[in-house]
Amino acid sequence: MTEVGYKKVLVAEDSSVIQNLLKKILLFENCKLTSAKDGQSVIDKYKNEDFDLIIMDINLPVLDGLSATKEIRLLEGDKGNIPIIGISGNAKNLPVSEFFEAGMNEYVQKPLNYDELISLVKKYTAE
């Protein structure tokens, strides 16, 4: 969609450990990752630049992942339709239906199953 050769993935995750881990794993899947550490900066970055996919942690500072997802879904045209994969340790034990209600396309529970995450990334970045 945006560039030939690789896919652009925006990762909203406040833990640098997980950011790094995702970078390493998705490097092999031909993805170029951009990091955002809180919910507001995800929205800001996404408004200024096009991406193919967003991976969004639920528990984020400033603005949580569910609110950020809802806000992205309100954007007009293609911008509002970007695939969003939610990830979370779900410490608050929220019902999974709430993530989909907010507009996420998929949800993967932490600790992350890499095979599952990779197959979802492939599914949503396929031409």
Partner 1 sequence: MKVLVIDDNAVNRRYVKSVIEQEGIEVFTAKDGVSGISLAAELNPDSILVDIQMPDMDGFECLESLKKVPNLNAPILAITAYSNPEDRDKFIAKGFQDYITKPVKPNVLSSTINYWLKNSEKKEQQSTLVRKQEFDMAAKDELLKHIDPVGVQELYKQFEVEINEFMSNLQQLNSSKNFYNICSILHTIKGNAGSLGFFELSEMASELEENTKLGDTNNLEQDILDLKAYTQQLFYRYETHFN
Q: Which range in 3-11, 15-23, 45-53, 65-73 contacts partner 1 by CB under 8 A?
A: 15-23
Nearer to partner 1, 2 or 15 (CB): 15
44 — phi, psi (to 5°)? -60, -45
In order of 34, 39, 56, 101, the CA distances from 45 in angstroms are 9, 10, 13, 23
Q: Which range in 3-11, 47-55, 74-82, 111-119 contacts partner 1 by CB under 8 A?
A: 111-119
Site string for partner 1, 48-77 (x = CB under 8 A): -----------x------------------
103 — phi, psi (to 5°)? 115, 10
Least distance between partner 1 and beta carbon 42 (Å): 16
Least distance between partner 1 and beta carbon 122 (Å): 15
Q: Which helix (H) or strand (E) covers residue 25, if one does?
A: helix 16-27
Distance CA 41, CA 39 (A): 6
100 binds partner 1 (CB under 8 A): yes
The residues binding partner 1 (CB under 8 A) are 14-18, 20-21, 24-25, 59, 89, 93-97, 100-101, 105-107, 109-116
